[in-house]
Chains A and B, each alone.
Chain A
Amino acid sequence: MTGTVGSENIVDLYATGEQSIIYWTALSEGRLVLPRCFACETTFFFPRRWCPSCWSDDVRFVESLGSGTIYAVSELHTAFQGVTKEQLPVAVVIVELDEGIRIPGRLAKTSMPGAIGDRVVLRFAADPATELPCFVAASSDSQGEHHD
């Protein structure tokens, strides 16, 4: 883990090991990176030392534009880990990225309710080091305005 004790940095909050530190650090810098196996040329999620398709360790992170379509969506009306009562309702999504893999995330309030098949893109917060990115409807991406 990096950073100082008591930091609100998302790397400190969420990263659990060497591979995931790379992933969360990129997010904290406003970049989405995805693990890719250069042996079998498969991009996958989540970060692992070995490719889950061929077990090669030739895994390197590649940048992603973070654009894709909603694969599944649910509007939470109950506060679970990661959500406070005051934030409700929030929409959680699984997004199928254009790279052909799926990642979990949050849909911006301004883009709710959101439907399966909708085009979305990952948008970073003004301070990506302390606030998680969320998906917004692709059409509203030009705003550049921060979510909730």
Chain B
Amino acid sequence: MASTSDAVIVGIGETRLGKRPGVTGVELQAEAVMAALRDAGLGKDDVDGLFNLGPYSNPSQMYAMTLSEYMGVRPAVQSSIDGGGSWTPIYMLANCIWAVQSGQCSVAVCTFGEAAATGRPVQGSGWTTSGARPEYEYPFGITGAVGPYALIASRHMALYGTTPEDLGEIAMSARRHAALNDNAVRQTLFTMDDYLASRMVASPLRLFDCSTMVDGAGAVVVTSPERAADLPNHPVSISGFAARTSHRTVGQFVDLDQIELREVAERAMGRAGISLHDVDVAEIHDAFTISTLIYLEEMGFCRRGEGGDYVREGRIDLGSRCPVNTHGGLLSQGHVAGFLHVTEAVRQLRHDAGAAQVADAEVAMVAGNGGILGTNAVMILGRS
């Protein structure tokens, strides 16, 4: 894995999120890439590496070339990378680093975005991926994301006594953070009663447990430290990365105590030379509240089954020792598959996160899964 000297993040870009009727996935990705390059002080002619992923809401093949063609760039290194969820941006960033440090390219950009709110050719009732029909599950109605996550949540509640209120705390915290973010879609604060009254989508998950589908995109620019020295932003280093895959479909879920996320987190932190106590801010996958809860437990922020107590004590809120999802997350900012977990982590480490700034943030963690906790990735970012 790259050490801090191998490659650094020098630019981030986000499009405006929300409902943008008529906008297409490739337009959103191009907009985010251009914004990220502008932020980096770089331009079209500098890009020689490009990673992306086509829209889940409107599946399309060879989408890396679709974006290159649309933008009129001819990258030496490019590919689409698809592991789902927040795994995808983390793994794209790893590929950017490998491409830059090996000399295959000098400036690598990665992006994801889609018109998930308004650009669905097949209306899938939300939180679905129209390209996947797991043969042994969808005939029974187990498909997309929310049903499978709900099954995992039911198990967590039965084994550990986790309550709806525990999940509600995570949803409320995300909303409070989103209220501070100009580019968040859902900013109206709500109470626990509001949470409990929100409609059941797939028990035990209510509407407020589910992320917000938006039209939007994010992008990140990586280059060498030598080149970064001439660029305007404080470079952010990627000091550790690790991942592991176990399954694709919820029917093959490996059990809550077999996810191996602790091993992944420790491997990433070991490469960065840090421990959990060194993490100042964590941006954690939250397609549904239950994924954040499981990540907090399995990565060791608290013990297994004690995630409810942890969030009820305010330990993921701004002002705590290690706030979580300081931008509002997929739940309340909007679901751009975790790309904005990365842009937020970079803003925090640049000390440019506005009202959500974690004082003196030096180390950020971005962690997330793809599928139904079937592949997990953890990345450690540093200010220095």
Contact = CB atoms under 8 A, between A and B. Distances in A.
Nearest to A83: B141
B102 interface: no
Given A74-B147, A74-B150, A81-B133, A104 B250 contact: yes
Interface string A13-28: 1111000100000000
A81 B150 contact: no
Given A79-B125, A116-B154, A116-B158, A104 B199 contact: no
A13 B150 CA distance: 26
Nearest to A116: B158
Nearest to B155: A72
A117 B252 CA distance: 18
Given A77-B201, A117-B158, A106 B136 contact: no
B203 interface: yes
A32 interface: no
Contact of A104 (B140, B152, B155): B140
Contact of A74 (B137, B144, B203): B203
Contacts of B125: 78-80
A38 interface: no
Contact of B202 (A14, A46, A78, A134): A78
B198 to A, nearest CB: 12
B223 interface: no
Interface string B117-130: 00000001110100
A90 B201 contact: no
B139 interface: yes
A92 B301 CA distance: 32
Contacts of B140: 82, 92, 104-106, 132, 134
B135 A14 contact: yes
A76 B251 contact: no
B151 A73 contact: yes
A81 B135 CA distance: 11
Contacts of B146: 78, 80
Contacts, number: 104
Interface size class of A (residues with CB under 8 A): 35 or more
B135 A82 contact: no
A103 interface: yes
Contacts of A126: none
A74 B133 contact: no
A138 to B, nearest CB: 18
Contacts of B142: 82, 92, 104
Contacts of B190: none
Given A77-B203, A116-B155, A45 B124 contact: no
Contacts of A109: none
30 contacts: A13-B139, A14-B139, A16-B135, A46-B136, A72-B151, A72-B155, A72-B250, A72-B253, A73-B154, A74-B154, A75-B200, A76-B202, A77-B199, A78-B125, A78-B202, A80-B124, A80-B125, A81-B133, A81-B138, A82-B141, A94-B253, A102-B251, A103-B136, A104-B142, A104-B251, A106-B141, A116-B155, A116-B158, A117-B158, A134-B140
Interface of B: 124-126, 128, 133, 135-144, 146-147, 150-155, 158, 199-205, 250-253
